[in-house]
């Protein structure tokens, strides 16, 4: 059984995960409009992944006898100055999510909620991967600069992402 404090915090995390999905969908739409179909594909895969994270929290709350309360989402941005700017925002957003997950783990430890600590371990590991991939893309975009041909090749590489 979840404490009210943990239940409230997990519900808040559902909102953050859904916002992440919404943000990446907005980024995907931006890339589509810029004729960067590979980047759009990568971001749509990210959208689905973030939605899946929200549903993991949803299921966990119910499995623990809690109640999910859906919260409103803020409108995500719709414009970026460049692909480097867009993916820098992806990295910064993933770092924020990592911080939120770490805060949940700290709360679960404080509350002595071992089941939630165990549940959150998957997300902690997942965030390592999320930040790694975003960092790699940001660093590659820094290397290629504003080169149209290199951006085209990078876009093709991002199109290869499964999902």
Please report the DSSP string for the chain in residue order. Answer: ---HHHHHHHHHHHHHHHHHHHHHHHHHHHHHHTT-HHHHHHHHHHHHHHHHHHHHHHHHHHHTT--------PPPP---SSHHHHHHHHHHHHHHHHHHHHHHHHHHHHHT-HHHHHHHHHHHHHHHHHHHHHHHHHHHHHHHTT-HHHHHHHHHHHHT---
Predicted confidence (pLDDT) at residue 146 exceeds the cutoff of 80: no
Write down the pLDDT at residue 140: 93
- From the candidate CATH numbers 1.20.1260.10, 2.40.50.140, 1.10.357.10, 3.40.800.20, the one assigned to the domain spanning 4-159: 1.20.1260.10
- Give the residue among 96, 95, 93, 87 at the shortest CA–CA distance from 40: 87
Longest dimension (CA), the chain: 55
Write down the pLDDT at residue 33: 97
Please compute, for residue 89, the number of CA atoms within 13 A of its CA located in the half-sphere on the CB side.
18
Write down the pLDDT at residue 149: 87
Predicted confidence (pLDDT) at residue 145 exceeds the cutoff of 90: no
> What is the pTM (predicted TM-score) of this model?
0.95
Write down the pLDDT at residue 55: 98
Q: What is the mean pLDDT of residues 28-43?
A: 97
Which pLDDT tens digit goes with each residue over 59-93?
Answer: 999 999 999 999 999 999 999 999 999 999 999 99
Q: What percent of the chain has pLDDT over 90?
A: 91
Q: Which of 147 and 32 is assigned the larger pLDDT? A: 32
Structure tokens at 20: 């992440």
Mean pLDDT of all residues belonging to the chain? 96
Domain boundaries, the chain: 4-159
């Amino acid at each position: 059984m979840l404490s009210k404090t943990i239940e409230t915090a997990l519900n808040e995390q559902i909102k953050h995960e859904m916002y992440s999905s919404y943000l990446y969908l907005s980024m995907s739409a931006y890339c589509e409009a810029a004729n960067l179909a590979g980047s759009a594909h990568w971001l749509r895969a990210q959208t689905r992944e973030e939605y899946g994270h929200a549903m993991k929290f949803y299921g966990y709350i119910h499995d623990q006898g809690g109640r999910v309360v859906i919260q409103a989402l803020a409108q995500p941005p719709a414009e970026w100055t460049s692909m480097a700017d867009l993916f820098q925002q992806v990295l910064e957003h993933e770092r924020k999510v990592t911080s939120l997950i770490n805060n949940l783990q700290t709360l679960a430890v404080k509350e002595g909620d071992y089941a939630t600590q165990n549940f959150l371990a998957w997300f902690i590991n997942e965030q390592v991967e999320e930040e790694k991939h975003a960092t790699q893309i940001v660093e590659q975009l820094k290397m290629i600069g504003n080169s149209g041909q290199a951006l085209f090749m990078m876009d093709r590489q991002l199109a290869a992402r499964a999902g």
